Each structure stands twice: as C-alpha cells, then as structure tokens.
Chains A and B, each alone.
Chain A
Amino acid sequence: MSSTTPTAHTTTAATPLVIPTSAAMTWLMGTTALAMIVYYFIGVEQGATAIFNGAQVHEFVHDARHFLGFPCH
C-alpha cells in the first residue's frame, strides 16, 4: 500500500500509516522547544545571559523568577 505511486486517488489512502508518527513527533518536539523558550525567558533572560538589551523582561517577571527558585539578585 505505502509504496504505490502517489496519484490523485491513492495518496490520501496510502500515507496515513506514515504521517501520524512524524506529525506527532513534530508536535511533541515543537511543543518542547516552545516550552523551553518560555522557561528561559522567565528564568534566565537578562540575568545570567541576555538576548535582548535592557532589563524589562527581567524586571517584569522578577518576583516570579525569585519565587520559582531561579538565580537572581
């Protein structure tokens, strides 16, 4: 089934066996990456390292950063 040449009628029937796992991986990996970026901005940005100049991000989430145990001042 999966080796049939893709034509207008067979593609939709032939691919579902393959797509779900890779699609699931994309969703799981993408979600993990986004969550880690959020984690970084709450916990580390404009502290130990900085992507943006200034202190707005650090100062805005400052109390949460301390309370969640991230190193600060």
Chain B
Amino acid sequence: MEKKLIFSGLLAGAVGGLTAWIFALLFAEPLIDRAIAYEDGRAAAQEALDRAAGFAIPAEEGGDVVSRGIQSTLGLGVGLFAFGLAMGALFAVTYAVCLGRTGQIRARPLALLVAAAGFVTVSLIPFIKYPANPPAASNDETVGDRASLFLLTLVIGVLVAVIATAVGQQLKLRLGTWNAALIAGAGFVAVIAIALLILPPLGHLDANVAATGAEHNTETPRALRDPDGTIVFPGFPADVLAEFRVYSVAAQALLWAVIGLVFAPLADRLLRSGQRPGVAPPQRETVGI
C-alpha cells in the first residue's frame, strides 16, 4: 500500500511540477528578464561611479556557466519538475502517516487537507517572513543567513503543524471535531505568528546594517547615489518585486492544489480496493477455475 501511495504522490507531483513550469514560463520569466535588465543597468552605473572615484574596475568575469536561454526554459522546467516530484513524495509520506491517525476523514478530503498543510508549511510560512525575490533584489553577502532563516521558518512550521495535529486529535475526544480543529488551528496560527515576529527582518542582518548604515526592514537594493547624494540609478523596481512575489506564491498554491486534486482520486481507489480484501474477485476471472 505504501508503495502505491508513494507512486501516486510522485505522479501527482509530476503533474503539479509541469503545471508550475507552464505557469512560470508565462508569468515569471518576463519578470526575471526585467530584473536582470535592472541588474545590468545598475552594474553599469556602479562601474561609472567607481571609475569616477578612481577605483580599479575588476575584470569582467567569464560568461555564464549555463546560458540564460537554458536557465529560463529547460533549467526552470527541470527545477520545478523535480521540486514537484519531491513535494509529491513528501505529500504521499505525510498522507500515509495520517491514514488511520486523523479520525474518520475520507480518502479524498484527506488528500486536500494534506495538500493544504503542505502549502502552508513548505511554501506560505517561509514566504510570509522571507518572500521570494527575483534576481538582483538581494544582498549576495547574506545568502548564508537568508538560507538558514528560510529553512528555519519551514522547520518551525512543520513541527508546529505536527504538534497542532496531535493536540487536535487529543482534544477531539473531549470537545468534538469542530471545536478541537478550531482550537488546534488557532494555536497553530498564534505560535507561528509569534515565531515570525521574533525572527529578524533581513534588513537587520549585520552585513546589511553595515552596508546601508541603518536598520532597514528589507535588503532590497535602494537607489544608487553619487558622492553628492544625487540619485544616479533607481532602487529595485517595486512592480517587478511585487508581481514576482504574487506569482511565486500563486505558483506554489497551484502546485499543491494539483498534487491534492490528482492524488485524491488515486488514493480513493487504492483505499477502496484495500478495504475489502475478502470480496471475491470479479466473476469473469473465476470462470476458468
């Protein structure tokens, strides 16, 4: 059974990953192009400033290891497809563990609930505190801190979700399903909200405070100024940032929705066939005996 569930999860994840790929080709790539155009323009403006100040200009680094043409099509697709497979696999494992341990929720609704939990813990909670950024909207020096904080939000979300589910199952015996679910859900939201408030904003990281001289909320590139304080290149375009983030979280909602919806009927069929082991095989197959 667990093998069949895992296979179903991989199938659902593959469909979800392909869906996310098509979505990303349509909505993400135009924004990534605009972000890279900003990056190039800003680099040129910075170089002009450095030249005027008499700094040595570092030699141009060798070309891209992987061309932009590959990155924006095949690389994007392989990345999203593999991510879909991985999430489909984790989804199936979670689903298998939940079976028989989360009350009498039936196969298909359980699939949608597990998919919703996957979206909230893996995608949404990290996104709320540390949202997706297009290229050139982050500080390279903080990538280690940002990766740690991003993964920390994910781990906190998963742990608190597991605890809330277990607590909810206990409360259900005394309070009934509805009240237990409400209390466990409210507790989950409260603990996550507190954790996200405690975690530092990216602008407060040491490297960013050192670079900007102040505790800004984010590390999004601000306008580039010459020594007189005149703006020579604008800050990162707000529209590109906002649209990229909306599409990022939408793509992940889409991915998890597809995983849940593809998996639900597959699991329903698997569990129905598994529920009646004593039922005689169909008439046609027994005729020859």
Q: Is the CB of A67 within 8 A of B80?
A: yes
A27 surroundings in chain B (CB, below 8 A): 2-3, 6
- A66 with B96: in contact, given A28-B2, A59-B65, A71-B146 (CB under 8 Å)? no
A61-B24 Cα distance, complex, nearest whole Å = 13
Contacts of A72 in B (CB 8 A): 133, 135, 138, 143
The complex places the Cα of A48 from the Cα of B147 at a distance, in Å, of 6
- In B9-54, the 8 Å CB interface with A consists of 24, 28-29, 32
Complex: A12 Cα to B257 Cα, angstroms:
42
Chain A proximity of B137: nearest CB distance (Å): 9
CB contacts under 8 Å to B, within A7-55, are 23-24, 27-28, 31-32, 34-36, 38-39, 41-42, 44, 47-49, 54-55
The answer to whether B143 touches A28 (Cβ under 8 A) is: no
Could you say which of B83-91, B104-112, B163-171, B226-234 contacts chain A? B83-91
Contact, CB under 8 Å: B86 / A38: yes
Distance between A16 CB and nearest chain B CB, rounded to angstroms:
13
CA distance A54 to B138 in the complex (A): 21
- Cβ of B71: which chain A residues have Cβ within 8 Å of it? 59-60, 62-63
Q: How far is the CB of B149 from chain A (nearest CB, A)?
A: 8
Residue pair A64, B133 in contact (C-beta under 8 Å)? no
Is chain B's interface secondary structure helix, strand, loop, or mixed overall?
Answer: helix
Interface of B toward A, CB cutoff 8 Å? 1-3, 6, 24, 28-29, 32, 64-66, 70-72, 75-80, 82-83, 85-87, 89-90, 92-93, 96-97, 123, 126-127, 130-136, 138, 140, 143-144, 146-148, 150-151, 244, 247-249, 251-252
Can you list 29 contacts pairing A with B, beta carbon distance less than 8 Å? A24-B1, A27-B3, A27-B6, A28-B6, A35-B85, A41-B82, A42-B86, A59-B64, A60-B66, A60-B79, A61-B76, A61-B78, A61-B79, A61-B82, A62-B71, A62-B75, A63-B29, A63-B71, A65-B79, A67-B24, A67-B28, A67-B248, A68-B251, A68-B252, A69-B127, A71-B138, A71-B143, A73-B136, A73-B138
